[in-house]
A and B are shown apart, each in its own frame.
Chain A
Amino acid sequence: MTRVTQAGPGPAPPALLLEVSGLDVAYGGIPALSGLSLSVEAGSIVTVIGPNGAGKSTLLGAIMGVLPSRGGIRFDGAPLAGQDIEERVNAGMALVPEKRELFASMTVQDNLRLGGFRHRAEGRAAAARAIDAVFDLFPRLRERRRQTAGTLSGGERQMLAMGRALMARPRLLMLDEPSLGLAPLVVRDIFRTITALRGTGVAILLIEQNARAALQVADYGYVLETGRMTMQGDAASLAADGRIVEMYLGPQGGR
């Protein structure tokens, strides 16, 4: 593995929120990920870039517990082995999948309510406040709150998927291709939101086709190619690396 820059160990190393080590995932005997390691510090943004089919979505699926995996995943210091998806959500993890997977026949508001399912004991008033907070982040959703999710445009669907995940008040938000299929203006909104979320203390693990934008908002980055991490380093130095530019970014100037 090439280390572009040594992530210099500071005087007091920040707490690792997510720590993946030696992760193996296989589909029907064919390895998809092998010996993968990755870590996310609390409150930071980490991005994983790499070609299609390298296993990026598989990685998020394995961390969330959607896919079976072998190896160590620790969240907030505690091993996740044997925990199901519900327990992982309760521990503070949330995944916004590539296909959004909204509850298409339910209203925007009900999608959000279900997102906050783990806080159901806190009562209606708390839920309403949480929904309001999501509406403040995505004002467009407030306008659409009584519309069914299936009738939303692509950008609104992504906002709803993110809002629904945030309703669980996660400490780690995993985003799989948030800008997929979105118009340039909306992409900008989504990235603005990602930056804004960092201010609230949520750590974000980001997979994004627009590698340039991803490396701009991220603190740290990994390059995943054919199931292995081939490079890692802080985002700025990855963005300057010649091979990364050629493979994933393209010449500066175009967006």
Chain B
Amino acid sequence: MRPGPLRLPLLLAAGCALLPWLPGLPPYWITLADYIGVAAIVAVGLVVLTGVGGMTSFGQASFLGFGAYATAILSARYGVSPWLALPVSLAVSAAAALLIGAVTLRLSGHYLALGTLAWGVALYYTFANLDFFGRNDGIAGIAPLHVGGLALVDPRWSFTVIWLGVGLAVLATRNLLDSRAGRAIRALRGGALAAASFGVDTPRARMLAFVYAAVLAAFAGWLYAHLQRSVNPTPFGINASIEYLLMAVVGGAAHIGGALLGAALVTVFNDLLQDWLPRLLGHQGNYETIVFGAVLVLVLQASPQGLWPHLARLWRWRAPVRRVVDAAAPPLPRRALPARGTPILEVAGLRKNFGGLVAVGGLDFAVAAGEIVGLIGPNGAGKSTTFNLLTGVAAASGGSVRFQGRPLAGLPARAVAALGVARSFQHVRLVAGMSVIENVAIGAHLRGHAGAFSALLRTDRAEETLLFAEAARQLARVGLAEAADRPADSLALGQQRIVEIARALCLDPVLLLLDEPAAGLRHHEKQALAALLTRLREEGVAILLVEHDMEFVMTLADRLVVMDFGTKLAEGPPEAVRRDPAVIEAYLGSVA
């Protein structure tokens, strides 16, 4: 999802809020639109959780239930004002999400989906079987919303309140996704490993998405309870959960607008079918379920990304999305780089076994500040595994790694990144749907501090300006300023590797680990890269380079470490290594 095309849904929501006051509108339509609004809020939460964050939830209606029951109990039993009950509703749901999330979010993929299904079922029966929740009868006598002395019982009033709520949810979600915390959530799908390597606390980002979606659902539940004036367990069961998921998917789960569209389509279509099918086919049998299923399959066949992208394309055609970067923004504070020659990385006896296979078998080498060391060797020699051991992506089986004198053993990737270690990946790991500059900004994650709340309230703008100015600067430095607003996956593979270098530079690294940066580059592109790395070396950055392009690495590196079968075959200045018979035999071949 991109932060741009949101004016459309916002305008729609605002326009909708005023709609029922048009004279002559059938009251039934207004009621239907109320339900669409409530569902849309839940579906917007699912966009963040499922469409953007990649976590499928079959239990979202339970959080609606937490919100609805909390306000029902407070309002009907204790006479608490609905407005005072609102924060309690949201807090109860958030607390439940934290608790449930702490247990289930360790799962991933279909295990997570099954986990949500399980607690979705369990919570439904909890609502239906406890006296506290009024069992199957639920709780009646909930007060309507009121403003001052005016009770908002007129369906037109509830409509306005609900659709203002939808507008609020859309705005908050837009703000969240277009922020430092939001980029962390957006990186979860497909880019989690890279994000962790740039200091993103990925479990926390997952939890944030989960709690946020739960809070939106609770908000919808609160609206629902005061609209309906009574609650019972049925609308908080598994069927409802599946229907919300369906709305998000049909509309387009990766887009906020898709949630609104899906909520409207599914609600109206369901209603039409229930109305018309019995007239056409007689009253026996639930034909609407069958027809509904068939239409759903057709829609998803024709448009697997949901229907929203079709609509958004018309809109974007008129207004291409461009992020405005403040070129005059002051640079972010930089860490002081150690003097050239200071030992930065010391690796001793590093080992990694995968079962019986020894990937790295006792490796020793060191890299100093202001030095470029090339790590070369045949494919499968253990070079990329070594990178993963150095950056905390994989745990070593033995040996030690010291960074600026400090042992790295046991530190997770994000802690290693925080010390000033940045890397690129052998197989490009950019977030596909995100623009190039947003991907690069993830590199500067640790140089910002704004969290979800400042994102929601937009108090993070000053910091965002600085982060994006830095991202733009690094992007210009690698020569890709032009591509800033393009989706990262639309670039050629070689360019994507260069984007990874810009992202790494955004971390303000002490040690830079580059995995085959020159792969796929043409001669003059390699020259530009070599010039950049030379400049970084002069600044005092320590660089470790895995590379197969011998011309590139031989002219650039101060020292080479040659690996074969997980161990060090040779080490020394490039000219010596080039003549080493063992290296020629294993790696270079006779004419190199």
Residue of B nearest to A187 (CB): B548
| Docked CA distance A186–B587 (Å) | 8
Name the A residues within 8 Å of B495 (CB-CB): 52-53
| Docked CA distance A205–B325 (Å) | 42
Is there a chain B Cβ closer than 8 Å to A7's Cβ?
no
Is there a chain B Cβ closer than 8 Å to A153's Cβ?
yes
Is there a chain A Cβ closer than 8 Å to B516's Cβ?
yes
**A51, A57, A255: which contacts B525 (Cβ < 8 A)?**
A51
Q: Could you tell me if A186 and B521 are in contact, using CB atoms closer than 8 angstroms? A: no
**B379, B527, B589: which contacts A153 (Cβ < 8 A)?**
B379
Q: Could you tell me if A98 and B493 are in contact, using CB atoms closer than 8 angstroms? A: yes
Is there a chain A Cβ closer than 8 Å to B588's Cβ?
yes
Name the A residues within 8 Å of B279 (CB-CB): none
| Docked CA distance A120–B274 (Å) | 50
Q: Could you tell me if B550 and A184 are in contact, using CB atoms closer than 8 angstroms? A: yes
Q: Could you tell me if B516 and A181 are in contact, using CB atoms closer than 8 angstroms? A: yes
- Assuming the contacts A57-B492, A247-B524, asked whether A188 and B589 have C-beta atoms less than 8 A apart, the reply is yes
Name the B residues within 8 Å of A177 (CB-CB): 493, 520
Residue of B nearest to A154 (CB): B379
- Assuming the contacts A98-B493, A209-B519, A247-B524, asked whether A182 and B592 have C-beta atoms less than 8 A apart, the reply is no
Taking the closest CB of chain A, its distance from the CB of B300, in whole angstroms, is 21
**A50, A180, A254: which contacts B520 (Cβ < 8 A)?**
A180
Is there a chain B Cβ closer than 8 Å to A138's Cβ?
no
Is there a chain A Cβ closer than 8 Å to B551's Cβ?
yes
Taking the closest CB of chain A, its distance from the CB of B556, in whole angstroms, is 12
Q: Could you tell me if B491 and A53 are in contact, using CB atoms closer than 8 angstroms? A: yes
- Assuming the contacts A98-B493, A183-B548, asked whether A156 and B522 have C-beta atoms less than 8 A apart, the reply is no
Name the B residues within 8 Å of A249 (CB-CB): 523
Q: Could you tell me if A248 and B548 are in contact, using CB atoms closer than 8 angstroms? A: no
Taking the closest CB of chain B, its distance from the CB of A155, in whole angstroms, is 4
Q: Could you tell me if A184 and B592 are in contact, using CB atoms closer than 8 angstroms? A: yes
| Docked CA distance A209–B141 (Å) | 74
Q: Could you tell me if A155 and B379 are in contact, using CB atoms closer than 8 angstroms? A: yes
Is there a chain A Cβ closer than 8 Å to B20's Cβ?
no
Is there a chain A Cβ closer than 8 Å to B426's Cβ?
yes
Is there a chain A Cβ closer than 8 Å to B258's Cβ?
no
Name the B residues within 8 Å of A50 (CB-CB): 522
Q: Could you tell me if B555 and A254 are in contact, using CB atoms closer than 8 angstroms? A: yes
Q: Could you tell me if B592 and A246 are in contact, using CB atoms closer than 8 angstroms? A: no
Name the A residues within 8 Å of B523 (CB-CB): 211, 246-250
Is there a chain B Cβ closer than 8 Å to A1's Cβ?
no
Is there a chain B Cβ closer than 8 Å to A185's Cβ?
yes
- Assuming the contacts A52-B492, A98-B493, A254-B555, asked whether A180 and B519 have C-beta atoms less than 8 A apart, the reply is yes
* Segment 21-55 of A: residues with Cβ below 8 Å from B: 27, 29, 49-54
- Assuming the contacts A50-B522, A52-B494, A53-B495, asked whether A185 and B551 have C-beta atoms less than 8 A apart, the reply is no
Name the A residues within 8 Å of B522 (CB-CB): 49-52, 209, 211, 247-248
- Assuming the contacts A153-B380, A247-B524, asked whether A183 and B494 have C-beta atoms less than 8 A apart, the reply is no
Residues 574-586 of chain B, each 1 if its beta carbon lies under 8 Å from chain A, else 0 = 0000000000001
Name the A residues within 8 Å of B527 (CB-CB): 250
Taking the closest CB of chain B, its distance from the CB of A55, in whole angstroms, is 8
Name the B residues within 8 Å of A29 (CB-CB): 317
> What class of interface size applies to chain B in its complex with A?
20 to 34
Residue of B nearest to A246 (CB): B524
Is there a chain A Cβ closer than 8 Å to B378's Cβ?
yes
Q: Could you tell me if A181 and B521 are in contact, using CB atoms closer than 8 angstroms? A: no
Taking the closest CB of chain A, its distance from the CB of B136, in whole angstroms, is 48
Is there a chain A Cβ closer than 8 Å to B490's Cβ?
yes
| Docked CA distance A59–B520 (Å) | 16
* Segment 172-229 of A: residues with Cβ below 8 Å from B: 177, 180-188, 209, 211
| Docked CA distance A123–B8 (Å) | 58
- Assuming the contacts A51-B522, A188-B589, A247-B522, asked whether A181 and B492 have C-beta atoms less than 8 A apart, the reply is no
| Docked CA distance A177–B522 (Å) | 12
Name the A residues within 8 Å of B589 (CB-CB): 184-185, 188
Residues 494-534 of chain B, each 1 if its beta carbon lies under 8 Å from chain A, else 0 = 11000000000000000000001001111111010000000
Taking the closest CB of chain B, its distance from the CB of A113, in whole angstroms, is 24
Is there a chain A Cβ closer than 8 Å to B165's Cβ?
no
* Segment 380-425 of B: residues with Cβ below 8 Å from A: 380
| Docked CA distance A249–B494 (Å) | 17
Q: Could you tell me if B380 and A154 are in contact, using CB atoms closer than 8 angstroms? A: yes
Is there a chain A Cβ closer than 8 Å to B37's Cβ?
no
Taking the closest CB of chain A, its distance from the CB of B582, in whole angstroms, is 13
Taking the closest CB of chain A, its distance from the CB of B389, in whole angstroms, is 18
| Docked CA distance A27–B592 (Å) | 41
Q: Could you tell me if A27 and B490 are in contact, using CB atoms closer than 8 angstroms? A: yes
Q: Could you tell me if A156 and B379 are in contact, using CB atoms closer than 8 angstroms? A: yes
Residue of B nearest to A185 (CB): B589
- Assuming the contacts A50-B522, A247-B523, A250-B551, asked whether A181 and B379 have C-beta atoms less than 8 A apart, the reply is yes
Is there a chain A Cβ closer than 8 Å to B138's Cβ?
no
Is there a chain A Cβ closer than 8 Å to B377's Cβ?
yes
**A51, A52, A182, A247: which contacts B379 (Cβ < 8 A)?**
A182
Name the B residues within 8 Å of A49 (CB-CB): 522
* Segment 534-592 of B: residues with Cβ below 8 Å from A: 548, 550-551, 554-555, 586-589, 592
Taking the closest CB of chain A, its distance from the CB of B316, in whole angstroms, is 9
Name the B residues within 8 Å of A181 (CB-CB): 379, 426, 516, 519, 548
Residue of A nearest to B493 (CB): A98
Name the B residues within 8 Å of A156 (CB-CB): 379-380
| Docked CA distance A188–B590 (Å) | 11
| Docked CA distance A29–B380 (Å) | 41
Name the A residues within 8 Å of B516 (CB-CB): 181
Q: Could you tell me if A183 and B520 are in contact, using CB atoms closer than 8 angstroms? A: no
Taking the closest CB of chain A, its distance from the CB of B207, in whole angstroms, is 31
Taking the closest CB of chain A, its distance from the CB of B399, in whole angstroms, is 23
Residue of A nearest to B486 (CB): A30
Residue of B nearest to A245 (CB): B523
Q: Could you tell me if A183 and B587 are in contact, using CB atoms closer than 8 angstroms? A: yes
- Assuming the contacts A209-B519, A250-B523, asked whether A182 and B548 have C-beta atoms less than 8 A apart, the reply is yes
Name the B residues within 8 Å of A186 (CB-CB): 378-379
Residue of B nearest to A29 (CB): B317
Residue of B nearest to A186 (CB): B379
Taking the closest CB of chain A, its distance from the CB of B483, in whole angstroms, is 8
Interface centre among A57, A99, A209 (most CB of B within 10 A): A209
Residue of B nearest to A177 (CB): B520
Residues 99-119 of chain A, each 1 if its beta carbon lies under 8 Å from chain B, else 0 = 100000000000000000000
| Docked CA distance A152–B380 (Å) | 8
Name the A residues within 8 Å of B519 (CB-CB): 180-181, 209
| Docked CA distance A183–B382 (Å) | 13
| Docked CA distance A149–B527 (Å) | 34
| Docked CA distance A211–B551 (Å) | 13
* Segment 301-332 of B: residues with Cβ below 8 Å from A: 317
Name the A residues within 8 Å of B380 (CB-CB): 152-156
User: Which 7 pairs of residues, A with B, have the shortest CB-CB distance?
Assistant: A153-B380, A154-B379, A52-B494, A254-B551, A153-B379, A53-B492, A250-B523
22 A–B pairs (Cβ distance < 8 Å), ordered by A:
A29-B317, A51-B524, A52-B494, A52-B521, A52-B525, A53-B492, A54-B492, A57-B492, A153-B379, A155-B378, A183-B377, A184-B589, A185-B378, A185-B588, A186-B378, A186-B379, A209-B494, A211-B522, A211-B523, A247-B523, A248-B524, A254-B550
Q: B-contacting residues of A (Cβ < 8 Å)? A: 27, 29, 49-54, 56-57, 98-99, 152-156, 177, 180-188, 209, 211, 246-250, 254-255
Apart from A180-B519, A181-B519: 9 A-B pairs, beta carbons within 8 A:
A52-B495, A153-B380, A155-B379, A177-B493, A181-B426, A185-B586, A209-B521, A254-B551, A255-B551
